[in-house]
Structure 1
Amino acid sequence: MPAENVFFLPVKDFCQRNVVTCSPDISLVEAAGIMRSENISSIVVCEGGAPIGIVTDRDLRNKVVAPGLDPRALGVRGVMNAPLIVVTEDDYLFEALYRMTRHSIHRVGVVNSAGKLTGIITNSDILRLQSRSPQQLMRDIEEAQNLEDLKNLHRQVQDLVVHLVGTGVATRDLVRTIAHLNDRILLRLIVLLRSERFPDLTDDFAFVVLGSEGRREQTLTTDQDNAIVYADDLPALEIKKLEEFSQILIDNLIYIGVPPCPGGIMAKNDTWRRSLSSWADVLDRWLGSATPENILNGSMFFDLRTLYGDARFERALKAQVTENLQRNEGFLARTAANVLRFKVPLGLFGRIKVETHGEHMGKLDVKRAGIFAITEGIKVLALEAGIVTGGTRERMHALLEAKILGRKQAEDLEASFNFLAFLRLRGQVAALREKREPINYIALSQLNRMEVGRLRLALEEVKAFQAFLKLHFQVNLLNN
């Protein structure tokens, strides 16, 4: 396996399983005795099987010995560092390494889905780190001091993806990496901006990302789709500051290399910067009239994810969407009908149709051909089922658990989605290597026979999925 791929393995493949633990209610002397007998430099403190803290050699030195305290009078609970920084077993290694760097620590706990301690991983468990790694890039982003640093780091994100394509890293992991690193750049930009120019900015707001960014499914062509939600009782002066902040933030994003949204879906624009109640009114209007524009805006907004700020606004708006859609099934049906308008480019005998003229002659827009139908079709099914979190893959799995999708159907859809996303990303990487602008088109002439066959199967699965949506939402019964 290439060295870079180690960062995309789950933590469970690296962590130490034999973790020495203790109760928070034992004496510090007893805990130190356990550490000495086990020849370890730290001990994890657990309560009910869940890790709640950690005591290290440094804690004993800095918190007890240096101040001249009597260790016999102290208990573990009063000295431990809490809460313990943890990752889950299925988190990627680079996420564990990032948390170590972020919190200036040398180890993190590993927990299962129930929050129970299953292991520990230290920086010494990682034998080799390379400069061309997500973890190193995250560290550099965290330490960025100005716009020029972030502009350079944004280019490095693209360089990293170009470097990793072809090394065996799964497309879903590459896409997740793009989203994770882009999140970090944006968060660092907000921190710098608030520190340098807006130290007194209100905290009663949320900066949310929408569309593919909200689903964490960005590729190398993703532009901005974002909005701001703020508290209803925010004073006019604070609203004015928030407006100035959002305009400078978006302009700086554009400067560092994140393209503006052609449709203006950006927090710097008044339409996409509103109070919670104003957004609630907008959602009611969109959901009450399934016009093409409202479907487009609603679909974009339904993917909202809080990137910075108060997450209660997101929860409130998603709850409203769920409640509203239960009363208005017609909106979902018309949204499904909109998905059906994107015809799968398959002709007689399964021939793949490509552009016959213009600058993209002989090429296929892989997003319009299949990716859009899968992401939007899965989204409308998820909304119907009250599933309002996660990306396309997570929603597929949730729909499978809810028995809305059959197992084979879900597996085939996910395989098709992964392959179409792979072709799209590979084409974009090839464009960057050739100093061209990355786009969504791929040239069939550059695919081998097996890839053409897999593409045909993927498009056939998209066509079958559209037929499923048509029947499920009874699209034929809609009045035109």
Structure 2
Amino acid sequence: MSIPEQESFISSIHPFESLTINQLELFVENIDIAYFKENEVIQKQNCEPTHLYFILKGLIQEKQEDEVLSLYSKNEIFDSISLIENYSKNVFITVEETICYILPRDIFIKTLHENSTLKNYFFQSISEKISNNINNENNKEMANIMVAKIKDAKIHKAVIIDTEKTIFEAASIIKKEKVPTVLLKDEKGEMYIVTDSDFRQKVILNRMDFDDKVIKIASKGLIYVNEDDFLFNAQLTMAKHGLKRVVVQNDKKEIVGILDQISLSSFFATNTFSVSNQIVKAETLEELKEASLSFIKIIRSLNAKGVKIEFIAKLINQLNKKLLDKLYVMLAPEELLGKSSLVVMGSEGRGEQILKTDQDNALILENDCTISDEKLQEFTTRFTETLVDFGFPRCEGNIMVSNPYWCRRESDFKDLIFEWVTQPSPDNFMNIAIFYDAVSVSGDRALILRLKEYLFKIIDNSQQFNSHFAKIISSFDVPLGFFDGFVFNSKDNKHKNELNIKKGGIFIIVQGMRSLSLEHKLYNTSTAKRIKRLNELGVIETELANEITMAFNFLTNINLKSNLEKLDKQEEVDNYINPNTLNTMEKDLLKESFKIVNKLKKKLEFHFKLNYV
């Protein structure tokens, strides 16, 4: 390679893009190229390392005795940790012929102390490392929309007129001011909005008199956002309320303009709003199904653009809720409307199901609901089958409205909850866990809140119950060995050399936060909100709360990335990943995330006294 090619190669490997020109030149001046045969030991165990290796070609194994801890391939480095500690606790051996650039340790250490970005990366805390990695990944595809403020987008001028203006006068003002909307303000200060489409759809189609007052075609109930809020939050607000525009205010509550969907599209090139609008306007099941099938496209687009996993989950959760609400209203018999509540549970209830993995739903009926059992079963069966047709797989545990066990009147659900709590068993604890995550997506939300209140009352601060509820955490092992190597299930031939991200990490975090939240009678359902609330209550210290949040987001994100790749290959979506397909940084952060999970697990075991249960 020429010197420019060497510089380009080194700076392409994170975090060495932060090297100054002089530091990069120093690297190039001091690197040598080294060739290694297959099965050649590059760095011995229990030695003082001499070089940092940049792999140009080949494959390297990091081993602890006979256990393979990591694999390193082209465009990766090893082993910075050994250089910093001046001790190599593992052996590094080639799997095939390998060519590396080698940089002397003293040059690496000298540069490390001179470059604050480099130093911070290699010495930062676990949560900072995970967070910075996520931010680095997000910035690869585009300037992360999460840092774009509403005021950075094109905001239309706010033109405010009084309610005495005629339709003709208002239309003339819109043309003169070259704006798509005008705001109206009455004597009491109530605000209204009239858009250019109102003139077309309400005035022309209804042949209204142009001398009629414009207030007749105005809409109220405006939604406001702050100009310093994130642009993505405006997107969420529009999707939630099915709006094409929101009113922008400053900190003084003064109106500064109108933000519309067209302005958003220049920052956020997905069809999220159109799909949300498609759901609202759907009049047939086919139209609703078409909207549902667009979700995966949105997920791919958001993920490719670097949008954070928690915001993808929020947006998809909003769309799912809107879809289920619309489907319920379209299919439900008249006897159910206003007398029931459709709830989603499990990961969907927590707002953490991004891809359509399964159905977890239930139906709560008011005690005086008059629908017959036959008619109810006919509806619930059709509802479940329609969701299957929409791409929502059946729940393997049959936790669906079509199962009469999960379709009851409020009083019957109370009896069921009483049984779950007073007759402890693995199935009953699982049912409590699923039900505790429930949120209403259609109908009377008060029904689920009353049942959760009843659940809290029955548990009644029972330490024995809380310990048994949390006990399942002890059944799940974090797949990380004593020497920080990944531990694989040797008995599972189907998933050889793969890790179950959900069982080994995500579930322990979810169940841990769920157990602590249930103990403190919290109504929050999402894991992120539970962590935040538990931190506010002093149950979890701030540093650990930040670490848990970062680990949870990283594990969820890497699981989503793996499953999107499986969908591309038309493979079955699951929770398994092969760590050897990850780059060095991802493997390191996966290990760090598992360390956080282990730390949390030990805290939970102590808190709930799980060793004595």
Using structure 2 for the length normalisation, give the TM-score. Answer: 0.66
| Pair 469,10 (structure 1): closer, same or farther in 2 beyond 3 Å | farther
**Partner residue, 1:266:** 400
Q: Match for 1:450: what amino acid? A: M
**Partner residue, 1:92:** 233
316-325 or 387-396: bigger deviation:
316-325
Determine whether 1:160 maps to 2:317: no
Determine whether 1:177 maps to 2:315: yes
**Partner residue, 1:213:** 348
The separation in 1 between residues aligned to 2:321 and 2:305, in whole angstroms, is 24
Contact kept in structure 2, 1:354 and 1:363, CA below 8 Å: yes
Determine whether 1:460 maps to 2:601: no
| Pair 52,204 (structure 1): closer, same or farther in 2 beyond 3 Å | farther
Contact kept in structure 2, 1:108 and 1:120, CA below 8 Å: yes
TM alignment of 1:78-89, pairs within 5 A: 81-86=219-224, 89=229
**Partner residue, 2:164:** 28
| Pair 140,348 (structure 1): closer, same or farther in 2 beyond 3 Å | same
**Partner residue, 2:247:** 109
The separation in 2 between residues aligned to 1:346 and 1:241, in whole angstroms, is 52
**Partner residue, 1:408:** 543
| Pair 180,362 (structure 1): closer, same or farther in 2 beyond 3 Å | same
The separation in 2 between residues aligned to 1:315 and 1:386, in whole angstroms, is 12
The separation in 2 between residues aligned to 1:424 and 1:467, in whole angstroms, is 24
**Partner-residue secondary structure (3-state), 2:567:** helix
The separation in 2 between residues aligned to 1:168 and 1:10, in whole angstroms, is 16
The separation in 1 between residues aligned to 2:531 and 2:310, in whole angstroms, is 14
**Partner residue, 2:91:** none
In structure 2, runs of 5+ residues without a counterpart are 1-138
**Partner residue, 1:306:** 440
**Partner residue, 1:338:** 472
Cα deviation for residue 460 of structure 1 reads 0.8
**Partner residue, 2:183:** 43
Cα deviation for residue 79 of structure 1 reads 8.3
The separation in 2 between residues aligned to 1:469 and 1:435, in whole angstroms, is 39
The separation in 1 between residues aligned to 2:197 and 2:561, in whole angstroms, is 47
Cα deviation for residue 368 of structure 1 reads 0.2
Q: Match for 2:236: what amino acid? A: E
Contact kept in structure 1, 2:365 and 2:408, CA below 8 Å: yes
Q: Output one character per residue of 1:267-294: Cα deviation in whole Å (capped at 9) or x when no partner.
A: 1111000111111121122122332111
Q: Match for 2:571: what amino acid? A: R
| Pair 217,70 (structure 1): closer, same or farther in 2 beyond 3 Å | closer
**Partner-residue secondary structure (3-state), 1:307:** strand
Contact kept in structure 1, 2:336 and 2:369, CA below 8 Å: no
Number of paired residues?
Answer: 462
Contact kept in structure 2, 1:382 and 1:399, CA below 8 Å: yes
Q: Match for 2:183: what amino acid? A: I
Q: Match for 1:255: what amino acid? A: D
Q: Match for 2:439: what amino acid? A: R
The separation in 1 between residues aligned to 2:576 and 2:374, in whole angstroms, is 42
**Partner-residue secondary structure (3-state), 1:349:** coil
The separation in 2 between residues aligned to 1:431 and 1:462, in whole angstroms, is 26
TM alignment of 1:66-81, pairs within 5 A: 66=208, 81=219
Determine whether 1:280 maps to 2:406: no
Q: Match for 2:388: what amino acid? A: I
Q: Match for 1:304: what amino acid? A: A
The separation in 1 between residues aligned to 2:573 and 2:401, in whole angstroms, is 25
Contact kept in structure 2, 1:287 and 1:324, CA below 8 Å: yes
Q: Output one character per residue of 1:419-451: Cα deviation in whole Å (capped at 9) or x when no partner.
A: 100111011001001111111000011011211
Determine whether 1:227 maps to 2:362: yes
> Percent identity among equivalent residues?
27
The separation in 2 between residues aligned to 1:9 and 1:107, in whole angstroms, is 18
Cα deviation for residue 15 of structure 1 reads 7.4
**Partner residue, 2:75:** none
| Pair 153,19 (structure 1): closer, same or farther in 2 beyond 3 Å | closer
Cα deviation for residue 201 of structure 1 reads 4.6
Determine whether 1:423 maps to 2:558: yes
**Partner residue, 2:529:** 394
**2:427 aligns with one of 293, 309, 326:** 293
The separation in 2 between residues aligned to 1:403 and 1:270, in whole angstroms, is 41
| Pair 17,318 (structure 1): closer, same or farther in 2 beyond 3 Å | farther
In structure 1, runs of 5+ residues without a counterpart are none
| Pair 400,56 (structure 1): closer, same or farther in 2 beyond 3 Å | same
**Partner residue, 1:362:** 497
**Partner residue, 1:380:** 515
Query: Larger % of helix: which?
Result: 1
Determine whether 1:136 maps to 2:274: yes
**Partner-residue secondary structure (3-state), 1:361:** coil
